[in-house]
Amino acid sequence: MRFLPPAELPEPVGEAGYEREIAASGRVSTRPGDLHDVCNALVWARFPRLKATLNRRHLEALPGSRRGRRGPVRDALTLFDECGLVIAGTDRAPLEALARHDWTALFGAAGECWPAGLATWVVGHANLEKLFQPYKAMTGHCLLLQAEVGVVNDPDRLDAALADLWSSGGPMDSPGALCPLPFMGIPGWWPGRQDANFYADPGVFRPPRAGRAVPSVLSWPEDSSLSPSLRNGR
């Protein structure tokens, strides 16, 4: 991968011209001094397999897009690329609490229930950029992953697992498959006080929307808790 100023690259042609250039040449358009683009480069450096897979999936999904509209698959890819988080742990229960928006089970009254072994990885470069000037309602759109501790805490192994999960598609075929999380609620992330009043704010820690499907908790390696289509890699 190379990160070059737009002036040194061909003018993007057609829909998904930015993604096409990356896939064809490994060159990523990166505006000098632009924090958003620098954060994108940092995520490429940490999760290269995942980023390459997201790029490839964008191009594979193009035939299903209508002119001027990305379609649900590319919308999900874009949302995860810009605002994605990976919440990973060995215990399924807190991941399921997050999927249900059961904030009391996940955080407790003042953050005391957040499991020490639950890892949060920022993979969305827009949210990485926003961390320079955080605000309470910052929201990530999460892939929820149950895995062994060696995957949860090792970015190289996690990168490989995430690339494989996104390669196979599975349930991540629309934005609604990703789980919203106001991640300033993670203990220690908000620079102010995280007390009972902080977590009682209904404008931030909202109940799930009526009729909204509960996002899936994925497992790695894939096992019987996943759908047959994902287990078979389709």
How many structural domains are present in the chain?
Answer: 1
Q: What is the mean pLDDT of residues 21-50?
A: 96
The pLDDT, as a whole number, for residue 37 is 97
pLDDT band for position 66 (cuts 50, 70, 90): low
Mean pLDDT of 93-100: 96
- C-alpha 92/C-alpha 95 separation (Å) is 5
Closest Cα to residue 186, out of 127, 118, 126, 92?
118
Which domain, by its residues, includes 105?
A: 2-231
- What confidence tier does 64 reach under pLDDT thresholds 50, 70, 90? low
Percent of the chain with pLDDT over 70: 91
Q: What is residue 14's predicted lDDT score, i.e. its pLDDT?
A: 74
Task: Give the mean pLDDT of 197-210.
Answer: 92
pLDDT digit string, tens, across residues 150-183:
999 999 999 999 999 998 766 678 899 999 999 9
Q: Which amino acid type is present at position 142? A: C
Question: Which of 53, 121, 137 shows the shortest CA–CA distance to 87?
Answer: 121
Q: Given this model, what pLDDT does residue 161 score?
A: 94
| Strand-pair category, 139-147 with 179-182 | antiparallel
The reported pLDDT for the residue numbered 172 is: 77
pLDDT of the residue at 13: 72
CB 50 within 8 A of CB 159: yes
State both tokens at 142: 């999460």
Angle ∠(207,172,26) on CA atoms, nearest 5: 125
Question: Of all residues in the chain, what percent carry a pLDDT higher than 90?
Answer: 77
Cα–Cα distance measured from residue 60 to residue 75, given in angstroms and rounded to the nearest whole number: 13
User: What's the pLDDT at 12?
Assistant: 81
Instruction: Please write the tens of the pLDDT for every residue from 125-134.
Output: 999 999 999 9
Q: How many other C-beta atoms are found inside a 10 Å radius of the C-beta of residue 21?
A: 20
Distance CA 196, CA 181 (A): 18
**Window from 83-92, 102-111, 202-211, 214-223 with minimum mean pLDDT:** 214-223
Write a three-state SS string for the chain.
CEEECHHHCCCCCCCCHHHHHHHHHCEEECCCCCHHHHHHHHHHHHCHHHHHHHHHHHHHHHHHCECCECCHHHHHHHHHHHHEEEEEECCHHHHHHHHCCCHHHHHCCCCCCCCCCCEEEECCHHHHHHCCCCCCCCEEEEEEEEECHHHHCCHHHHHHHHHHHHHCCCCCCCHHHCEEEEHHHCCCCCCCCCCHHHHCCCCCCCCCCCCCCCCCEEEECCCCCCCHHHHCCC
